[in-house]
Structure formats: structure tokens, C-alpha cells
Amino acid sequence: MEIGRTFTVFIILITVCLVKTRERNYIIPNPTAKTHFKEQSLNTVSFKSAKIIETSTISSPGPISTPRPQLYDIILRFSEVGLRKIGPDFIISQKIISLSLDNNEISNISPLAFRSMRNLRYLNLSGNKIPTERLLSLEGVTELQTLIINNNNPINPIKIEKHSNYSAVECVFEKLEYLHLCNSQLKNFKIHHQMMPLLTHLYLSNNSIESADIIFNNIPATLRTLYLDNNLIDQVEQNKLRNLLELVMNNNYITEVCFDKCQKKSIPLRGANKLKKLSLSKNQISKVLVDAFTDTEKLEYLDLSGNNITEIINGTFNNPVWIKILSLADNKFITIPNICPLKYLTSLDLSGNRINAVHANNFCNFAYLERLYLANNSITTIGHQAFSNFRSLKNLDLSGNQLSQFPPQWANVWRLEELHLERNKFEELSDVTLGTMKKLKNVYLDENPMIHFKAESFKSLSANFTVHLKNILIEKTYEDNYDDSNDYD
């Protein structure tokens, strides 16, 4: 094992020495990556790594920006090679644009480690043991655009002080746009806006941040995307969302969504007139005030799932009429809430509530709705033409309810392709009434108490139609006389 590690470190040292040899007509490839060369012209080759980036985060923090390799650009990756210390001038090269040092054991890193890589634009230090106070102590990386330090497990602060030869340095990242610090044991971690004047995307998911003020009071005006899911935040002060386009704060402790007259443990949306995506899933929200979305006229995505909401007051969605994706799943609705103003909806999720009936007057003219999820409610009744206003509906999920029969013409949705009816009370296929759905491709009837099927039930079904019947106990009856009155397995 030690011989293998020594050999790996030896190879790294050789590579570093070779990279330091500049102004040549060739480029030394990364020895730890699968590489290939492509001729550009006489005596000119460029290096490309077959696997440039590989990050590991608990949440889904959005896309990671990566510089596009140009002629003579170098992309190096030293992942999982047991590195523990990075000293000053780790590599001297103006050709390196991307460096990955993820999943090592780095606990000691010099602020001057990367100063001799003046064109470095992408740096991945995830999965190491860097002291929290030194996460952003990196001098001389003036061209850096993306910095990723996810899954950091800092060493004991006592050990830091004992073995430290230098203190934390506050550095300026003049061109940094993407900063990832997910799952890195951060609590009261401040990021001053002067340090990153061009920052647009900040990912701080899966930490222990208690106060949103630490974040919102220090972010630059350029920030557009902020991920704070899986933290301990219970309050956001007013007028903090003015410049954001995307805010994800799932799994925190917010109890109220409001405009400006807010209680404690709330998120006020006054001034959030640029916001396009808001995700507050799995908080403790029980109130959504009627004027909460007054300023969010550009909102397109809203996720309030996994909360304690019992009603949406009429008029709540009068202003954010451009919402296309709305999730109210896993709340406590007894009836379908009034969301009629949202006429541009393409996806609506009401799964996991306590809804017991669906009638024609529950929905308005949702001409663009393609996906409707009503799974895992307590629905026993589907009214006549209950879904007749859905001209574009392709996927309807009614699984996990108490349905035993549909009325004739219960759904005049001729575009419907997928129908989920798993875990209901249907005993015969004829109770489902599918004759008018000419584009239907799949019906899922798994785990219904169907014990036999009549041949006549299949006559009205369209061609290329599949009925899915997993986990159903069908009576083993067989008749030699194949007529319409026979029941089939």
C-alpha cells in the first residue's frame, strides 16, 4: 500500500516538474487521467482529459461552469491520490485553466498555492479537510471563475492552531461567478460582497447555517442563484431578494410566506420582482398570505410541497400568473385549492394531500397543463367531465386513492398518453371508462382488486395500448368457447 502511494506521489512530482517547463511546443498530459492527443498543426498538440470534472454533493445544486479548453490549455486532475499538504506555488504554469484536487486528505493549504497559475479558471477542492477559516484564503487566482469546495470535513481547530504557520487571509476573487460550498460544515460563515464582485451563483446546501442575515447581508448585487436547502434558517429579513432569479431554501424552518406584514419565522417576498424560481419544500409553512406574491410577477416555478398548508386564499395567485410549474404536494388540503389565475400552468402537483373528490368546477381552463398529479389522496369520487378543461393533458396520476368507478365522459382529454391508477379499488377494467382516450398509450392498474377480465372491456381501447397489471391476483379460470361473455385471466 505504502509503495503504491509513494509511486503515485512520485508520478505527481514528475508531472509537476514537467508542467513547470514552459514555452514548449508540446503539453504534458495528466498522468492520473485517461488522455488522448489531437493534432492541430505541425508540432502543435493540445491536451484533453477524458474526464474533466467529477463532483459529489448531497443536494442538486445546479450546473457547474467549466472553462472550454483552447489550444495549449491544460486540464489537470489529481483526484484520490492521498495529497495532504499543498505548499506555495504548487504548479508554475500559465497554461493550466482547470485543476481538480478533489477527494484527497488536504488539511494544510498555502494561500499562495495557486498564484503561479495565473489563468486558472476552474478549481475543485471538494472532499478534503481544509480548515473552514481558510476555505477562501487563496491569493493570486485573479482569473478564477468556478470554485468548488463541497463535502469538506475540516480538521480539529485545536490541531490547526498548533501546527499553523500562517493565519487566514481574506482574498479577492475578481472574476469568480460560481461558488460551491455544499455539505462543508458551515455555520456562521460570512462571504463579503467585496471579495466576489461578479458572483452570480452561490451554493450553500447541506450545512448548519442558522441565520439568513449572514448570507443576505453580505452577498453582491450580481448574485442571481442562491441554494440554501438543508440548513437551519427560520427567518429572512425584508427586501433581501431584489436581485435573485432563483432561490432554493428547502428543508429549513420557515413557517409563513408573506409580503411585508410578516410574523417571525417568515420569508417576505416584497421586492422580489426578478424572481423566477422559488423552492420552499419541506419547511414548516402553514400560512401563505393573500398578498405574498404581489411583486413576483415573473415567477415561473413555485414549490411549496412538504409543508402544513391547509388552504390558498382566493386572490393569492392573481399576480404571478406566469407560473408554469406548481407543487403543493404533501400538504393538508381537503379540497382542491383555487389556482384559476395560473392559466399558463404546465405541471401541477397535488399529491399526498387529503382531497376526497374532484369535480368539474375545481379546475379552470388550464389550456397548457400537461402533467397533473393527484396521487396518494383520499379521492373516492370523480365528477362528470371533471378534467374536460385540460386540452393539453398528457399525464394524469390518480394512484393511491379510493376510486372504484369512473362515470361516463369523466375526462374528455383526447391528448392523454399516461394514466396512473395504481393502488385503487377497481375490480373490472370496464369501471375505468377509457373509450374516448384515443391517444392513450399506458394505463397502470397495479395493485387493484381485479380478479377477472371480460373480453368486451378491451374492444373500445385504441391500438398500441398497454394495460399494466402488476401484483394483481386474477382468478385462474379458462373457457374454451371464446365469446364476449367469457372472463379471461
**3-class state of residue 201 by DSSP:** strand
pLDDT per position as a tens digit, 123-149: 999 999 999 989 999 999 999 999 999
Provide mean pLDDT across the span 407-428: 88
pLDDT at 463: 67
The answer, yes or no, to whether residue 340 has pLDDT greater than 70, is yes
Cell of 444: 397502470
The answer, yes or no, to whether residue 23 has pLDDT greater than 50, is no
pLDDT-based confidence at 245, cuts 50/70/90?
Answer: very high
pLDDT-based confidence at 73, cuts 50/70/90?
Answer: confident
459 Cβ partners below 8 Å, 6+ apart? none
pLDDT at 62: 52
70-155+170-231: CATH number: 3.80.10.10
Highest mean pLDDT: which of 33-42, 145-154, 188-197? 145-154
Highest mean pLDDT: which of 241-255, 359-373, 399-413, 474-488? 241-255
The fraction of the chain above a pLDDT of 90, given in percent, is 61
Pick the residue with more confidence: 431 or 402? 402
Nearest Cα neighbor of 419 from 400, 441, 402, 404 is: 441
Provide mean pLDDT across the span 79-95: 95
Q: How far apart are CA 23 and CA 80, in angstroms?
A: 30
pLDDT per position as a tens digit, 451-472: 777 666 666 666 678 888 887 6
Q: How far apart are CA 68 and CA 98, in angstroms?
A: 9
Q: Mind spelling out the 3-state secondary structure of 345-363?
A: CCEEECCCCCCCEECHHHC
**Mean pLDDT over the full length of the chain:** 82
pLDDT at 68: 57
Provide mean pLDDT across the span 2-9: 50
pTM equals: 0.82
pLDDT at 22: 41
pLDDT-based confidence at 243, cuts 50/70/90?
Answer: very high
Domain ranges of the chain: 70-155+170-231
pLDDT-based confidence at 182, cuts 50/70/90?
Answer: very high
Answer for the pair 208, 184: CB distance below 8 angstroms, yes or no: no
